[in-house]
Chains A and B, each alone.
Chain A
Amino acid sequence: MLKIDSVSKTFHAGTVNEVRALQDVSLSIEDGCFTGIIGTNGSGKSTLLNAVAGTFTPDAGSIHLAGHDITRWPEYKRAALIGRVFQDPFAGTAPDMSIAENIAIAMKRGQHRSFGFAVTRAFKDDVADRVRTLKMGLEDRLDNPIGTLSGGQRQALTLLMAVWTRPKLLLLDEHTAALDPKSAAKVAELTKIIIAREKLTALMVTHSMQQAVDLPDRIIMMHRGAIVEDYQDERKQRVRVPDLMATFDRVQKRELFDESVAGMLKAQYC
């Protein structure tokens, strides 16, 4: 279970560039729940993901994952519990190393690593079996440098590597945003299949409303560093893209509802 309790983060505090990126954010995600985070630019969705990943330490609040208080843990230590896929398909892999070698490194994430022989025949057979589930024909190219693959193929492999050790939490940071539409659809489909198959707890930031509707079990909407909507259970089942757009619209309308509007309505709302 992931439990984020009253987390706040302000960047450049006390300067003209002060940004209150997270404002008293609380969120609990049950084991096995796939949660999507949507929001406008600067709403704090990636900041929240980074707070969980340990990219920075929050100013206030706490983060618990799988029974551990990880609030003060450094990023590398959290990597033992957290798998992560970035927006850039070329991030998180070594381009000159083979597919099998990249996977060998990934499966040791969070563990002690040595110079021992990593890619054995048995290991490669296991890798081939798992890579075959991607249905991209990559199981026959395990010795090829990963840098020779397309963005979509590489992102699919990165996803597979991120879940190889069955992390307590999978973080997906707009992981299809840099892909062409066909590859993005394929990786999105794989994401849903893999998370369901492995029964993973996952947190996905996305700009795609359709993806938010189609993939996760729950949708969090953020605005100005705060959670403004939480679609889960039957509300999530019912929600469609126009509903999400309407919710964005409502959030923005609420911002436009200032004291002058209140004064005008006081005279006219009868």
Chain B
Amino acid sequence: MTAVVMIEAVVILLLAVLVVGLLRSHAEILRALHDLGVNLDDDSGDQTFRLRPGLGHQTTDRPGSVDLRRSPSGVVEAQRPVDDPALLGEARDLSGETPDGEAAAVGVVGAPHPTLIAFLSTGCVTCQDFWDAFASGVTLDLDGRAVRIVVVTKGPQSESPGGVAQLAGTAFTTLMSDTAYDDYGVSVSPYFVLIDAHGSSILGEGAASSWTQLASLLDRAVADRGAALGANRTRRELLGGTARGDRVDRALDAAGIGPDHPSLHRR
């Protein structure tokens, strides 16, 4: 009898260890999915995607981490030429028409909240997912502040106001404006621009073909902002090293090291 009890106790102990191990594994999977912006709890009602400034320090040193220096699959980084190659450029306020025919101005420069401008069209299949996501109440949160979502389509000459009105939701602002496309140099849809609060800085921009890719793009932009603040470097410098050559030349000049300096030719 004692032996049976002992065996039963051992089995229970083993099962307990197994359950604890499974729970821990499950928790790690959930945490990893959460870090990637995936929320499996569809019934929670909270559809806020929280951008994570802290990701700027994440590297590929540990398995499963995200390399922020590389674009995720499907994401096209912005290549818009700007005056200062070290910057993504300055945001501009938006003006155009609402689908209801109102003349509208939308303030994004100096606004007290960050703004995500989503350049969408009624015709493109890829855009439909974003229209649906925004209409269903998906929201963004940056540094604890709600991100205002502004969907911009081409003007009434290119898009049907009735078609846009059918897709426009009440949870976001919809604007029809050819000027906005020109101001931001946008040639494709869907295309996204994230603008910081209390200023005119463009934190990030690019094309993405799914909500997950958009979330990843925005996360990288926010993370790079955090990294750039400390190192006095910008997102574009970090991503592409576009200003690296000039910066290195200036540093070498300042140190008195020119092209003929012996230290550069030492073997």
A and B interact physically: no
Residues of B within 8 A of A (CB): none
